[in-house]
């Protein structure tokens, strides 16, 4: 019974999706609740605050586990590495009180479909539904299968993406209840109670400004997002209802299943819908960042019992109109106006999903923030030791309990600088500002530090490494299964009329918008090469009646043609999955129908009659692709159609067969001038570059060679994997690309040569793997164990779909690479979001597709971002180290003074806290990035030997110096334990020390501040803070030298001058204000000598020993250190494998293992 309850207690929501969650059922128990309320009162709200930070503790304390069916509270846990908990209350919706949507049946609408999720969720006869709402999506309890399910019916609420403008008081409370601010409030209360008013007020003012700016920023973001989505919530649409016919309706009342009209006017789509009649031209720029018009066609009517998505396969997107995209043109079919059926509403739509990803971003897993927290915990532990020490000392001297508690808590707070999180934020803000000057915009600033760790960058090809537009280079026509003479562009004579000219003039998806021809750049260049013209909008008449069509006619510069024009009657749009497009056209004034196809040469040739394909087709194709040209094949077929046919009803599979091969269209895609130098710079910095493209494999390899991504002497091994066929298992073949110089070499020779050249980062490696998307998919599915080995040296991935790009980035991350992705933001959305640093090359200031957007459309932004990331990361480490040292320097000084029941004065603390530390934290991160990328990365962890040693050794130097000062001053002949004067006099040099008896009798009147120990320890600790600030502000190799940070250098000089003035000036006013005693000049010289020795030792240790890369490499070798990164382990394994890489061999899979996940949201064309 218990096992059954435990099984029913848990369920997995959104299985195998990005937002997968574990749900646990709990029931509130009265006695537990009463105990918790008592705890809240007795702890003065501390327990409540703890439960606010840890919602799982709240649920475990107040509730008992139970089955999900009985639960009134659901505890949700993410399945990623963060295991983040959230608490959700189960609510009931009374369906009997809900208004029915327009067009629904009035008689018993809720049980019309007995198998629907909503019907199975209704508790009858009460008509109630149990549900929870998670990240704007509602899940109902399905009574039949006993689990929570997403719904898209009545209970999904209005069709509106409602983003609440969060009230200022809510934002304020959320910010100030942050553990950091709570600890700060406790510290400030303690300091104020001790009369330390000046610094406390300064920190309060800074905190108020910091909280105010954060709240203002969050409020602005909330308002912007609200305004962005609000205008689309109130769109007027014409809905087809059963009883009332056509009816104008506000879009918020739409529900899945409603049919609405697209009447030709521009419309911002208020929902996801599938087109069932007519065709549309849509701008999907909001989703993809690419404002190229996309043609949408109606969902074909089939007898298949399969779901429509499965029937259309990955190409289903061509029938779907996505929420937030704009319908530019709608064309009616012969049956009437264009119509669409509502698929998804509100936050379940494509736009809703995008808005949810902004509202609930994926948390960042970065070591720095976890390590900073560990540092704070470590310092707190030291603070607790200080607290115990203080209690012992003050209790031993029989001090009042109030004094003991106050002093103990004071030493605890001294050890933990409350400014660590704020100082880390400051560094990121400066880095973001520097990036903005370089036209790189960032929507998630925390990722800037992560950029400092990037060691692999994936690049899209077209528009990223190469020029955005393609230039028409030539056409290689085919006639009688032989290639004819090439026609080059530009040419003095126009392209002669023929099937090739007809294909180039009509096989495209171009449209005329605002008197300008728009569409895919490739289509545009191809059409321009014919010198034909396109009409704005036309209606062609065929035997079936009037039909909307696009008409193209010969222009004044075109070659003479025996036709008046061509009417493009129907399109089968291009898709990256099918790698082809085709059109059904008709010459004006003729009865005959033509089908033209264009696409990837390998794909198009497979649809042609083999006798029409030239025998040297593959050789010619390789000739051009090996030179880096983009090659498109053209084909044609005369359609034999009955007179009364409706071309809109034609099945693609039926008409796309038995075509005649027309020839190859050769297009030139030049490298951008910045590509080679940037890739050279990344290679010099030992950062791997990978090309991930939708283009032909041979073209991609050639571009990679031309861009020096693959060195001239390197071999390219093509990996070709095939799915299982019949009884034959999946296979993988390895062959040397023809461009490789030693293609005749035996496999073992290649292996040996490659083996010698492998280095740790894969730099200088003499072999590279290249493969296409199909092979990659087979590798993931059937050869997953081989995948890590291949990825270590894979450089070219061609014909990759957007989903495969995302999968590749994730697989590289599993090998512990820090992956950057640079693309044009169109078909790279998924990969840009998944990568550690996604950089979209877009003219927009900020793209929702990626964390970073570069307005300069070339890859120069990649090294810039890595440079700034490294500088920001090093600055963050420096600030954390400095604040740790500052806290511990102050802690040591205070602990020594506590030994004799003394303390630093308020103004002494104020100098250290405000004049030194606060200014150092605000200016330390202003140092700019070093212009040259170093061939290694900065440490990625605070808890690493060099950084920990740096802190530990500097703390040791501090303890040694301050203890020496504290003990030596007591040995001086002029020292007295109790002094009541400040002004300097010759008497100081001859004063005899006070006797022990005298000291004890006057101890009650002794000052808690005035002492020679205090006057000695203050300059030692204060100037030591300036020393560590200088020592930790390392310049090369990641930041410019310290003197280039003029503000910081000036502040350090000024601080040193002020400290020396206060210490050396023989002025009563200074001594009185700072609560110092006058000491002999010789003693002051000794103090300065101690500081000078500390500076020299600290600087030598930090600069010569701890920052010495070669020394650490030697130590690692001596101790046999092994890297924890997966890719390093694989590299070491492959170095010992004499049979790697395999060449001219074929392997077979044992059996199928796992399938790659392709996210349909990102299936866009290249």
Please state, in angstroms and rounded to a whole number, the distance separating the CA atoms of residues 655 and 637. Answer: 9
pLDDT tens digits for 79-127?
Answer: 776 778 888 888 887 766 655 544 444 344 444 445 555 565 565 556 6
- How high is the pLDDT of residue 153? 43
Whole-number Å distance between alpha carbons of 877 and 870: 11
pLDDT score, position 785:
87
Instruction: Assess whether 1137 carries a catalytic annotation.
Output: no
The pLDDT tens digits for 1008-1064 are: 777 888 889 999 999 999 999 999 988 888 999 989 999 999 999 999 999 999 888
Largest CA distance in the chain: 125
Kindly report, residue by residue over 964-990, the tens digit of the pLDDT: 999 999 898 888 876 555 555 544 443
SS3 965: helix
If we measure between CA atoms, which residue out of 1087, 1037, 1040, 1095 comes closest to residue 1062?
A: 1087
Torsion of CA 23, 25, 31, 37, to 10 degrees: 20
* Ordered alpha helix ranges (H), 43-116: 46-53, 55-62
Strand ranges (DSSP E) for 14-98?
Answer: 21-28, 63-65, 73-78, 85-89, 91-94
Percent of the chain with pLDDT over 70: 82
Give the model's confidence band at 521: pLDDT under 50 very low, under 70 low, under 90 confident, else very high.
confident
Q: Mutual orientation of helices 179-193 and 168-176 as an angle, nearest 10°? A: 70
DSSP state for residue 47 in the 8-state scheme: H
Using CA atoms of 828, 832, 833, 839 in order, give the dihedral in degrees to the nearest 10: -140
- Among the residue ranges 44-48, 121-125, 759-763, 825-829, the one predicted with the least confidence is 759-763
What is the predicted pLDDT for the residue at 334? 63
Q: What is the reported pLDDT for 143?
A: 74
Question: Residues 6 or more apart from 725 whose CB is under 8 A from it?
Answer: none
Q: How many CB atoms lie within 10 A of CB 723?
A: 15
Nearest Cα to Cα of residue 1061 among 1028, 1084, 1095:
1084
Cβ neighbours around 979 below 10 Å, total? 19
What is the pLDDT confidence band of residue 365, given thresholds at 50, 70 and 90?
A: low
Mean pLDDT of 273-282: 83
For 628, half-sphere exposure in the C-beta direction (CA atoms, 13 angstrom radius) is 17
The reported pLDDT for the residue numbered 1053 is 94
- The neighbour count for residue 48, using CB atoms within 10 Å, is 15
Taking only the tens place, the pLDDT of each residue in 722-779 is 888 778 888 888 888 765 544 333 333 333 233 333 333 334 457 899 998 889 989 9
More confident call, 34 vs 518: 34
Contact 765, 757 (CB under 8 A): yes
Q: 74 vs 347, which has greater pLDDT?
A: 74
Handedness of CA 221, 223, 224, 225 (dihedral sign): positive
Q: Are 576 and 556 in contact (CB under 8 A)?
A: no
* Dist CA 302 CA 311 (whole Å): 9
Contact 1087, 1016 (CB under 8 A): yes
Q: How confident is the model at residue 913 (pLDDT cuts 50, 70, 90)?
A: confident
Residue 851 φ then ψ, to 5°: -65, -30
Cα separation of 892 and 955, whole Å?
A: 9
pLDDT value of residue 237: 85
Residue 690 near residue 639 (C-beta atoms within 8 A): no
Contacts of 363 (CB under 8 A, 6+ apart): 80, 82, 84
pLDDT of 235 = 81
Kindly report which listed range (163-177, 275-289, 617-631, 1117-1131) carries the lowest average pLDDT score: 275-289
In terms of pLDDT, which residue wins out, 660 or 1? 660
Nearest to 721 by CA among 768, 809, 780, 767: 780
pLDDT at residue 1000 is higher than 50: no
Q: Tokens standing for 379?
A: 């310092």
Q: What is the DSSP letter of 560?
A: P
Among residues of the chain, what percentage have pLDDT more than 90? 14
Helix (H, G, I), strand (E, B) or coil at 274: strand
Place of tokens 């090998």: 815
The DSSP annotation for 483-527 comes to E---EESS-SSPPPSSHHHHHHHHSS--EEETTEEES-HHHHHHH
The pLDDT assigned to 998 comes to 37
- How many other C-beta atoms lie within 10 A of the C-beta of residue 611? 9
DSSP string, 353-420: HHHHHHHSPPPP--HHHHHHHHHHHHHHHHHHHHHHHHHHHHHHTT--HHHHHHHHHHHHHHHS-TTH
pLDDT(813) > 70 = yes
824-828, 868-872, 937-941, 1118-1122: least confident range: 824-828
How far apart are the C-alpha atoms of 352 and 271, rounded to whole Å?
Answer: 9
Burial class (CB in 10 A: 0-12, 13-18, 19+), 624: buried
Is residue 307 within 8 A of residue 118, CB to CB? The reply is no
Burial of residue 415 (number of CB atoms within 10 Å: 0-12, 13-18, 19+): buried
pLDDT digits (tens, 9 = 90+) for 559-612: 888 888 888 888 887 766 677 888 989 888 888 889 999 988 988 988 898 888
Q: Are 606 and 580 in contact (CB under 8 A)?
A: no
Give me the pLDDT at residue 916, please.
87
Closest CA to 275 of 245, 233, 244, 312: 312
Which residue out of 258, 315, 460, 1166 is catalytically annotated? 460
The predicted pLDDT at position 441 comes to: 84
What is the band of 953 on the pLDDT scale with cuts at 50, 70, 90?
very high
H or E segment to which residue 339 belongs: strand 338-344
Q: Which of 1009, 1013, 850 has its CA nearest to residue 440?
A: 850
- Over range 23-50, report the average pLDDT: 89
Q: Beta 272-277 vs 267-268: how paired, if at all? A: unpaired
DSSP lists the bridge partners of residue 728 as: 725
Helices (H), 610-712: 617-625, 652-655, 675-684, 697-706
Range 509-522 average pLDDT: 77
Instruction: Evaluate if residue 911 carries a pLDDT over 80.
Output: yes
- Distances in Å between the alpha carbon of 840 and those of 14, 576, 629, 846, 985? 29, 20, 25, 9, 71
Residue 377 has pLDDT above 60, yes or no: yes
Name the residue with tokens 């196809």. 597
648-659: average pLDDT: 81
> In terms of DSSP bridges, do strands 538-542 and 91-94 run parallel, antiparallel, or are they unpaired?
unpaired
Q: Residue 514 pLDDT more than 80?
A: no
Which residue's structure tokens are 């050789």?
619
* 2 contact partners, CB below 8 Å, separation of at least 6: none
**Average pLDDT, integer, range 790-800:** 90
Sequence-separated contacts (24+) of 371-375 with Cβ below 8 Å: 371/941, 371/942, 371/943, 372/420, 372/421, 372/424, 372/880, 372/942, 374/942, 374/943, 375/420, 375/880, 375/884, 375/942
Tell me, what's the pLDDT at 863?
Answer: 94
Which one has a higher pLDDT value, 249 or 373?
A: 249
Average pLDDT over residues 842-870: 79
Out of 254-268, 274-288, 500-514, 926-940, pick the least confident: 274-288
Most confident of 189-198, 476-485, 697-706, 859-868: 859-868
Range with lowest mean pLDDT among 530-539, 666-675, 1050-1059: 530-539
Q: Quick one: average pLDDT of 402-430?
A: 80
3-state secondary structure 1108-1146: CHHHHHHHHHHHCCCCCCHHHHHHHHHHCCCCCCCCCEE
Residue 866, pLDDT above cutoff 90: yes
Write the DSSP string, 598-632: EE-HHHHHHTB-GGGS-TTHHHHHHHHHTTTEEEE
CA atoms within a 13 Å half-sphere pointing along the CA-CB vector of 966: 20
Q: State the average pLDDT over residues 792-820.
A: 87
Going by pLDDT thresholds of 50, 70 and 90, the confidence category of residue 900 is confident
Count of residues making up the chain: 1166
Please answer whether residues 1023 and 1093 qualify as being in contact, where contact means their C-beta atoms are separated by less than 8 angstroms.
Answer: no
DSSP E strands in 619-777: the ranges are 629-639, 660-668, 688-692, 715-722, 731-736, 767-772
């Amino acid at each position: 019974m218990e096992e059954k309850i435990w099984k029913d207690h848990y369920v997995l929501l959104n299985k195998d999706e990005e937002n997968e969650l574990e749900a646990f059922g709990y029931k509130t128990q009265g006695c537990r609740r009463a105990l918790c309320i008592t705890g809240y009162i007795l702890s003065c709200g501390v327990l409540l605050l703890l439960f606010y930070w840890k919602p799982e503790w709240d649920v475990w304390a107040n509730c008992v586990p139970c089955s999900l069916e009985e639960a009134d509270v659901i505890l949700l846990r993410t399945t990623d590495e963060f295991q983040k908990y959230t608490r959700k209350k189960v609510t009931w919706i009374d369906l009997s009180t809900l208004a029915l949507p327009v067009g629904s049946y009035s008689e018993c609408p809720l049980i019309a479909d007995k198998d629907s999720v909503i019907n199975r969720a209704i508790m009858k006869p009460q008509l109630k539904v149990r549900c929870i709402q998670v990240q704007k999506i509602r899940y109902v309890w399905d009574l039949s299968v006993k689990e929570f399910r997403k719904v898209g019916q009545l209970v999904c609420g209005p069709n509106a993406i409602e983003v609440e403008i969060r009230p200022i008081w809510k934002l304020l409370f959320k910010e100030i209840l942050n553990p950091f601010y709570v600890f700060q409030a406790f510290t400030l209360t303690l300091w104020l109670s001790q009369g330390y008013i000046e610094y406390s007020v300064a920190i309060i003012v800074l905190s108020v400004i910091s909280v105010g700016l954060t709240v203002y920023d969050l409020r602005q973001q909330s308002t912007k997002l609200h305004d962005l989505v609000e205008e689309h919530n109130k769109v007027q649409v014409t809905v087809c209802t059963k009883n009332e016919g056509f009816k104008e309706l506000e879009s918020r009342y739409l529900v899945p299943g409603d049919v609405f009209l697209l009447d030709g006017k521009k419309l911002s789509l208020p929902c996801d819908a599938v087109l069932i009649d007519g065709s549309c031209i849509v701008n999907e720029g909001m989703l993809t960042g690419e404002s190229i018009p996309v043609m949408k066609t109606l969902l074909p009517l089939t007898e298949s019992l399969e779901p429509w998505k499965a029937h259309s396969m990955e190409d289903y997107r061509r029938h779907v109109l996505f929420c937030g995209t704009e319908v530019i043109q709608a064309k009616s079919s012969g049956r009437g106006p264009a119509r669409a059926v509502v698929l998804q509403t509100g936050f379940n739509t494509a736009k809703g999903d995008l808005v949810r990803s902004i509202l609930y971003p994926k948390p960042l897993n970065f070591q720095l923030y976890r390590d900073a927290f560990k540092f704070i915990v470590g310092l707190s532990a030291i603070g607790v030791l200080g607290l115990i020490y203080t209690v012992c000392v003050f209790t031993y001297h029989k001090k009042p309990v109030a004094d003991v508690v106050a002093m103990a808590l004071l030493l605890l707070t001294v050890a933990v600088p409350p400014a660590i999180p704020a100082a880390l934020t400051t560094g990121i803000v400066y880095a973001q500002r520097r990036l903005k000057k370089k036209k790189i915009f960032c929507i998630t600033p925390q990722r800037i530090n992560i950029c400092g760790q990037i060691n692999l960058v994936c690049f899209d090809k077209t528009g990223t490494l190469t020029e955005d537009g393609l230039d028409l280079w030539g056409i290689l026509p085919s006639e009688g299964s032989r290639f004819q003479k090439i026609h080059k562009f530009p040419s003095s004579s126009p392209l002669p009329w023929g099937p090739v000219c007809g294909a180039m003039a009509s096989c495209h998806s171009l449209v005329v918008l605002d008197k300008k021809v728009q569409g895919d750049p490739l289509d545009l260049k191809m059409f321009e090469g014919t010198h034909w013209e396109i009409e704005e909008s036309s209606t062609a008449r065929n035997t079936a009646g009037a039909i909307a069509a696009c008409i193209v006619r010969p222009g004044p510069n075109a070659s003479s043609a025996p036709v008046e024009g061509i009417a493009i009657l129907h399109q089968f749009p291009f898709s990256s999955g099918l790698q082809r497009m085709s059109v059904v056209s008709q010459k004006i004034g003729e009865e005959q129908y033509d089908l033209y196809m264009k696409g990837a040469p390998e794909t198009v040739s497979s649809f042609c009659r083999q006798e029409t394909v030239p025998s040297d087709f593959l050789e010619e194709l390789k000739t051009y692709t090996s030179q880096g040209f983009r090659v498109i094949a053209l084909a044609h077929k005369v359609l034999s159609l009955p007179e009364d046919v409706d071309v809109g009803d034609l099945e693609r599979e039926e008409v796309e067969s038995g075509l005649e091969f027309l020839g190859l269209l050769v297009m030139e895609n030049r490298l951008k001038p910045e590509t080679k130098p940037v890739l050279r710079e990344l290679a010099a910095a030992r950062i791997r570059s990978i090309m991930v493209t939708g283009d032909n494999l041979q073209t991609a390899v050639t571009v990679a060679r031309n861009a020096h991504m693959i060195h001239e002497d390197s071999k390219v091994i093509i990996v070709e994997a095939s799915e299982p066929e019949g009884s034959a298992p999946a296979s993988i073949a390895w062959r040397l690309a023809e461009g490789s110089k030693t293609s005749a070499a035996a496999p073992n020779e290649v292996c040996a040569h490659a083996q010698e050249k492998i280095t740790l980062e894969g730099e200088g490696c003499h072999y590279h793997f290249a493969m296409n998307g199909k092979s990659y998919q087979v590798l993931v599915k059937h050869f997953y164990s081989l995948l890590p080995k291949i990825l270590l040296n894979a450089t070219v991935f061609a014909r990759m779909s957007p989903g495969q790009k995302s999968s590749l980035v994730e697989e590289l991350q599993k090998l512990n690479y820090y992956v950057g992705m640079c693309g044009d933001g169109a078909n790279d959305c998924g990969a840009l979001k998944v990568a550690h640093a996604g950089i979209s090359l877009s003219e927009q200031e900020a793209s929702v597709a990626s964390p970073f957007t570069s307005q300069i459309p070339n890859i120069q932004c990649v090294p810039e971002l890595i440079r700034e990331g490294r500088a920001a990361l090093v600055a963050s480490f420096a600030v954390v180290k400095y604040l740790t040292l500052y806290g511990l320097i102050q802690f040591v000084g205070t602990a020594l003074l506590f030994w004799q029941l003394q303390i630093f004065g308020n103004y002494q603390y104020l100098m250290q806290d405000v004049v030194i530390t606060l200014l150092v934290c605000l200016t330390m991160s202003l140092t700019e990035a070093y212009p040259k990328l170093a061939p290694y990365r900065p440490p990625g962890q605070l808890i690493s030997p060099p950084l920990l040693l740096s802190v530990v050794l500097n703390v040791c130097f501090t303890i040694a110096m301050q203890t020496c000062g504290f003990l030596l001053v007591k040995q001086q002949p002029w020292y007295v334990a109790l002094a009541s004067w400040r002004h300097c006099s010759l008497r100081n040099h001859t004063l005899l020390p006070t006797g022990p008896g005298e000291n004890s009798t006057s101890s009650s009147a002794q000052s808690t501040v005035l002492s020679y120990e205090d006057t000695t320890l203050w300059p030692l600790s204060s100037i030591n803070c300036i020393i560590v600030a200088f020592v930790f502000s390392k310049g090369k190799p990641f930041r410019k030298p310290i003197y280039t940070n003029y503000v910081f250098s000036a502040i350090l000089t000024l601080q040193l001058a002020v400290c020396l003035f206060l210490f050396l000036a023989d002025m009563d006013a200074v001594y009185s204000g700072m609560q110092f005693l006058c000491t002999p000049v010789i003693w002051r010289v000794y103090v300065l000598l101690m500081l000078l020795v500390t500076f020299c030792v600290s600087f030598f240790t930090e600069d010569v020993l701890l920052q010495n890369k070669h020394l650490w490499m030697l130590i690692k070798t001596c101790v046999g250190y092994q890297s924890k990164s997966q890719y390093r382990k694989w590299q070491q394994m492959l170095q010992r494998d004499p049979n790697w890489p395999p060449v001219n061999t074929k392997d077979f899979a044992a059996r199928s293992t796992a399938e790659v996940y392709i996210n349909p949201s990102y299936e866009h064309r290249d």
